[in-house]
Structures are given as C-alpha cells and as structure tokens.
Structure 1
Amino acid sequence: MKLLALLTLTLTIATQTLHATEVKPNQVLRWFGQTPSSYVSETPYGNNIATGRFVRSGDANIYFEVYGEGSPVVLLHGGLVGSLAEMGQFADKLKNDHQVILVNTRGHGKSDIGSVAPDYAQKAKDLKAVLTELGVERVDVIGFSDGAYTGYQFAADYPDAVHKLVAIGAGEWKEGFVQGGRKDRSTPFQILVDIDPRYWAQQAQIRPEPAKTEQWFKQANKQYDRTTVEKPLFESIHAPVLVLAGENDMNAPLHTVLAAYKMLPDAQLAIIPNTPHPVFAVNFDAVWACIEPFLDQ
C-alpha cells in the first residue's frame, strides 16, 4: 500500500509539473530515456489524431498509426517503457517510400491493457488484427526488443504475412532469463518512474487506464517469467531475418543473439560495436546502413 501511495503521489506531482504543457492532440510525445541530444521527430507519433486508429483484438482496443504509401513496413516498439515515439527516426526514414504502420502493444500508449496474458502469441494476434483492418496481406517488420520477439512470433504464426523481419536486440530467451543482467524481476515500478518522470506524466494523460499502469507492469513481468523463445520457434521462421544488436546489449547479450542467428533458417547478422540495448538511439546511421540494404535486397 505504501508503494502504491508513493507511485500515485509521484505520478500526480509529475503530471502537475507538466500541467503548463498538458498533452494535447498532435503534440509531439517524449520517449523514455530521451536526452537533449536524442533524435526527436516533428511528427507526433503515438498522438496523431489525423492518422491514429483503433482495432478490436480479442478483449482490447489496439492503437495504430499509418503513414505514407508503398510497400508496407510495420514498426514494433520495445516493452514496458516502449512507445511509438521511440521508433520515430525509422518512421521518418521509411514513410516517403513505404506505407509505415506503427502499432502500440497492448498496455502501451493508447492501447488497452486487456485482461488476457500479454504473451507473444497474443501480441502477434493483435498485429494480425491491425493488418486485417488495413487489408494488408504481407509486410516487412522492424521490431525492437519486445517488438522483435513479437516479430519472431508473428513470422512463425503467420508465415505468409511476413516478407522480411528485422529483429533488433532480441536473442534466444531460455527459461528464467532476466534482461539487464538482473537476478529477478522484482524491480519496483517506482524505479522506472524515477528514471523518467516526464515520460510517465505524459503517458498518464494518453493511456486509457492510467490508474492500472502499475498493475499492468506486474502482469507483464509475470508473463515474462513464463516466457521462452528457443529453438522450436526460431526453426519455424522461414522469412529472411536480419538479427541486429549492440555489442554491449545487456538485455540481449551477444551469446543469445548469436544463438538466435544460428538457429534461424535464413538469417543475416549485424553487431554494432560499442553500443547498448537501444542501439539505434546511439548509432542510428550504423543501424540504418545495415537495415536499408537488407530490405532492398
């Protein structure tokens, strides 16, 4: 109860601090961990009333945005602290020549939390619901972290729907694996709030159920404790996959990335030197130099 009270107080204080610049429709959103030198798009990804839409998938309304025309590319953000805004530089690069589809994972941004287990099979179903709504049959997918794992699952469950997959920061996931080098998933949600209170203050204003954010955080971590992504899944993916990661990624250590690459039937590998988990936020040019020719092949 004390933690919940502290979380509520912190979010209230952060929201009050942001009150003078309350989030409005079409306002550019902050992404988690954004710094003064970070790339920030002028497009309000995750908050664009002109292109934002919802589709019903099972027990949740899933939010997505669509930009541009051409061959479709889906962008899938990271988990827990992920948002459409973090994928902004990819969207800006792609939308002049492609139809770009950005999807908020359930519990993130404007998507509902829902009540079912947020496993990767469900997240793949949510993506399929978006594509069905749009009448899109086959896509390229670029996923980061949690989004990359969703991409793996989607490519396995809907093989005819995936042309190519770029999986950033996502390797083999054995039972009991905890990202970031931690021993367990006991980190309180408050820690994330303290890292970037401005981000969470904005999220509290756009999420459909902000009071349930801590509950959702616990639910997601409980699901991660039951998650494995191993040989049977990788071997069932026959679309070409670019497995990409930062050399110093603590969430997807190099040996897990190499293991995934070796188990995939049709894979290429790219490791960006001296970069962490959010590799594209640190060295986008190097990441894009790997992705662009892969998609164009």
Structure 2
Amino acid sequence: MDTGFVPGQGRAQIYFASAGQGVPVILLHDGLANSDYMSDLARALLRARCRVVVMDARGHGRSTMGTLPLSYDLLADDVVTLMAYLRLRNAAFVGWGDGAVQAMNVAMRHPGTVSRVFAFAPRTTPDGLLASGENAPTIKSFMTRAKTEYKRLSRSGSFSDLRDDMRNLHRQAPEWSNADLVRVTAPLWAVAADHDELVARMQVEQIASAIENAGLAILPATSHFALLQNPLLFSLSVESFLGGR
C-alpha cells in the first residue's frame, strides 16, 4: 500500500492511501468523517481486484486545511491533483454525502477524469440537508465519534473550526440546477438510503432523473450511515454498479 501526502492549493497537505491493481476506484467520505470510514468498502473492492484510492478531504482526518476558504470546487481540485500525482487518467468514484457532491463536481468540472460515479446521499442545493437530522440519535453519535477521531488523526486545527467551516459550506453549496446536472456525462447511480435522516430523498431522485446516464437505487433498512450499518449490502451495490469488478 502506498500512503503519503500531496500538496494542495493554499499550502494544504492532502493525505491519501492507494493499494491494489486493476480498475481505479476513488472513495470519498462525508463531511466531518475521514477515509477510515471507507475501509470495509475498500477491502471489498481490493478483493474484487480494483485499484483502490482513499483520501482525507482537506481539513479532515490527516489532511490539513491550508489557507483557502473551503469550497466544493477546491475539494474537486484536490482530487484532480491527487490523480495527477498517482498518474491516473480517469477513475470510477464512490462518494458518500459530501463525498458524493465532491465526486459529482469533479465529473462536471473535469469530465474526462471520471469513468463512473456511485453517489450515495448526494444533494443539489443546501435545502437537501434536513434540519431535523441534527437531532437524530445517529447524527449525535456520529458527531461524538468524529470529534474523537479528529483529535486522534489531525495534525493541526480544531474540530470546532472544521465543523463551522462545513456549516458555512452547507449554507451556500451546492447550488445546482438541472442544467448543471446534465454536465455529468459519466454513468451515475444516485443512491439513497430508505431511512436517511440527513439528506432529502427528493434531491437524490432529481439527480437520477436529470442526468441522462443515471439510475436510481434505494438501499433498504439503512440510514445515512448505510456503509457502516450494512457494509456487505453497500459493497455489493458498488460492485454491481462497477460491473462486477
């Protein structure tokens, strides 16, 4: 396994890990989480003979924030920078929450670099985040876990600052219309959990209907944390989307 840091814009240092051989697949985690959350999926894709790449989004996990304001465009650029460093001309993407938004933004801004997008719990506008979700027991549990992990992994900054940065980002982005969504030309699955406490199903369905090469999938008996609640179901869904590879 190859691990390290690549320099991002604004003097950020972006952590990554890469392993395996075969079809390259980049896994992107949700806001306030880190790449460790993708471990079960990463192991499953390695067994399926994929080349798996994970990264900590800037300001998350082991990656530093740098000096620039956080934006989805900046997060997309970090992915492209890492791909250039790893000499990946294109890759499939699996994104969860903010990672799904990040993957779709890469597909819009750098279409030649994206072969497929598995977008779990994506959004199109700030209204896609349900205000009631903050009070859900699973979200409260996640926040406690994320804070502990941040203290263990982070080399700089504070969890409260990161939380404020993400809240500011969520208030203003993404802001995508159907005209924006059609810029995604790669095959895409818009995937929802049937009991997602954080992301509005309507926006997931909008993505599936607006993008020409898109499909809609609903994961049963799961919430926003489906990849942790039922890792076998989640990994089989991803492998099916990738064509069984």
Considering the TM-score relative to the shorter chain, is it more than 0.5?
yes
Letter in 1 for 2:226: V
Aligned partner (choices 216, 225, 237) of residue 171 of structure 2: 225
Partners of 1:146 and 1:239 in 2: how far apart? 19
Partners of 2:199 and 2:192 in 1: how far apart? 8
- Long gaps (5+) in structure 2: none
Secondary structure at the aligned position of 2:95 is classed as strand
Partners of 1:72 and 1:90 in 2: how far apart? 14
Structure 1 position 200, deviation (Å): 2.8
Structure 1 position 134, deviation (Å): 0.7
Aligned partner (choices 243, 253, 266) of residue 213 of structure 2: 266
Equivalent runs, 1:163-242 vs 2, <5 Å: 163-173=115-125, 176-177=126-127, 179-182=129-132, 196=144, 199-210=146-157, 212-227=158-173, 228-242=175-189
Match of residue 242 from structure 2? 295
Aligned partner (choices 81, 92, 113) of residue 161 of structure 1: 113
Structure 1 position 206, deviation (Å): 2.2
Structure 1 position 273, deviation (Å): 2.2
Query: Residues 138-177 of structure 1, C-alpha deviation per residue, up to 9 Å, x if partnerless?
Result: 100001000000000000111110111100011332xx52
What is the TM-score of this pair, normalised by structure 2? 0.89
Taking a change above 3 Å as real, the CA distance of residues 74 and 117 of structure 1, as seen in their structure-2 partners, is same
Secondary structure at the aligned position of 1:196 is classed as helix
Match of residue 95 from structure 1? 46
Taking a change above 3 Å as real, the CA distance of residues 54 and 205 of structure 1, as seen in their structure-2 partners, is same
Structure 1 position 289, deviation (Å): 3.1
Match of residue 84 from structure 1? 35
Q: Tell me, yes or no, if the aligned pair for 1:243 and 1:261 is still in contact at 8 Å.
A: yes
Structure 1 position 266, deviation (Å): 0.7
* RMSD between superposed Cα atoms in Å: 2.3
What is the TM-score of this pair, normalised by structure 1? 0.74
Query: Residues 193-217 of structure 1, C-alpha deviation per residue, up to 9 Å, x if partnerless?
Result: 99525x533421321214x331222
Taking a change above 3 Å as real, the CA distance of residues 154 and 276 of structure 1, as seen in their structure-2 partners, is same
Partners of 1:195 and 1:165 in 2: how far apart? 27
Taking a change above 3 Å as real, the CA distance of residues 178 and 235 of structure 1, as seen in their structure-2 partners, is closer
Aligned partner (choices 2, 5, 8) of residue 57 of structure 1: 8
Alignment coverage as a number of residue pairs: 238
Partners of 1:110 and 1:291 in 2: how far apart? 26
2:77 equivalent to 1:129:
no
Match of residue 284 from structure 1? 231
Taking a change above 3 Å as real, the CA distance of residues 248 and 193 of structure 1, as seen in their structure-2 partners, is closer
Taking a change above 3 Å as real, the CA distance of residues 89 and 140 of structure 1, as seen in their structure-2 partners, is same
Q: Per chain length, whose mean CA-contact separation is higher, i.e. which structure has more relative contact order (CA < 8 Å, sep 6+)?
A: 2
Q: Tell me, yes or no, if the aligned pair for 1:193 and 1:200 is still in contact at 8 Å.
A: no
- Higher strand residue share: 2
* Stretch of structure 1 that moved more, 148-157 or 226-235: 226-235
Letter in 2 for 1:233: D
Equivalent runs, 1:28-39 vs 2, <5 Å: none
Partners of 1:138 and 1:167 in 2: how far apart? 17
Partners of 1:276 and 1:89 in 2: how far apart? 17
Query: Residues 36-71 of structure 1, C-alpha deviation per residue, up to 9 Å, x if partnerless?
Result: xxxxxxxxxxxxxx6321111111111101111112
Partners of 1:282 and 1:214 in 2: how far apart? 26
Letter in 2 for 1:88: S
Larger Rg: 1
Taking a change above 3 Å as real, the CA distance of residues 208 and 230 of structure 1, as seen in their structure-2 partners, is farther
Structure 1 position 93, deviation (Å): 0.5
Structure 1 position 178, deviation (Å): 6.0
Letter in 1 for 2:101: Y
2:72 equivalent to 1:72:
no
Q: Tell me, yes or no, if the aligned pair for 2:96 and 2:121 is still in contact at 8 Å.
A: yes
Secondary structure at the aligned position of 2:209 is classed as helix
